Structure 1
Amino acid sequence: MTKRNKIIYWVATLWLALGMTATGIVQLIKQKEEVEMMAHLGYPSYFLTILGVWKILGVVTVLIPKFTLLKEWAYAGFFFSMSGALFSHLAVGDGGKEFFGPALLLVLTVISWYFRPVERRVVTAN
């Protein structure tokens, strides 16, 4: 892995981890604005707890060494969660402000996944 790719990976991964941790905590404590947003999107408030727990577990999984298959699941979960958030905001007619956070985290997820080192990938034998 080149030095450039390693820098891209770690910058994207750390920003992704920060964003997912922050939103996970906000969801776990059921901040008033988050509860209102979930109701606006048509989801029950208990969904915040589920999302918050899985985001924090996903961050831990992505950051720790080994467990390559589990990392793939964590990246997939981040991708589904953020693309789902984008489509949810689109479905209720929200504007660009509501798209920014999920879109940024979605892009960081893809960049982190794409540039991950070989030792963090699932390698199959042919």
Structure 2
Amino acid sequence: MAAIYIYWISTALLSLLYLASACMYATKGDWVRQALADLGYPRYLVPILTIVKVLGVVAIVLRFSAGLSDLAYAGMFYHLLLSGLAHLGVRKPSSALPAAVGLALLAASFLTQNAAREIPSPYMLSAML
């Protein structure tokens, strides 16, 4: 029962983090483009990341299929990992904090998903819970 609560709370907080980020990308596009340029990324990533962040949340929360949900988890994992490392690479460790929090929420959500979802993920062993 605790795993179900952990899943929904961590998934809700992770979704909130990603949707807030997508909203910031949409409303403060120039600032985000400059921040990405400072990290060494091209400016054209802003609209792509905005759409992908929203679609990732939709795939995990609505879970049309377990495979698509797991793909969204993988995408978020790599995005958060690379985001945190990019901030650390330019010596801005405080800016990497949201990525670290996101990674913790992502791990909690992924590891407890089979306890809360009807269709289990084939990549998560239910015996681990």
User: What TM bracket, shorter-length normalisation?
Assistant: 0.7 to 0.9
* Cα shift readout 1:37-70 (whole Å, capped 9, x = no counterpart): 1111011111111111111000001011441000
Q: Which runs of 4+ in 1 moved over 4 A?
A: none
After the TM superposition, which residues 1-126 of structure 1 pair with which residues of structure 2 at under 5 Å, given as runs?
3-95=1-93, 97-117=94-114, 118-123=117-122
Structure 1 counterpart of 2:68, one-letter code: L
Identity of aligned residues (%): 29
2: CA distance between counterparts of 1:7 and 1:77?
A: 24
1: CA distance between counterparts of 2:122 and 2:74?
A: 17
Q: Give TM-score scaled by structure 1 length.
A: 0.87
The higher-RCO structure (CA 8 Å, 6+ apart) is 1
Q: Give TM-score scaled by structure 2 length.
A: 0.85
Q: Which runs of 5+ in 2 are unaligned?
A: 124-129
Residue 32 of structure 1, CA deviation: 3.7
Q: Greater shift after overlay, 9-18 or 115-124?
A: 115-124
* Cα shift readout 1:68-98 (whole Å, capped 9, x = no counterpart): 0000000000000000001111111113x20
CA distance change for structure 1 residues 65 and 120 in 2, over 3 Å: closer, same or farther?
A: same
Q: Greater shift after overlay, 47-56 or 20-29?
A: 20-29
Aligned length: 121
* Cα shift readout 1:11-54 (whole Å, capped 9, x = no counterpart): 00000000011101222344343222111101111111111111
Task: Please state whether the residue corresponding to 1:116 is helix, strand or coil.
Answer: helix
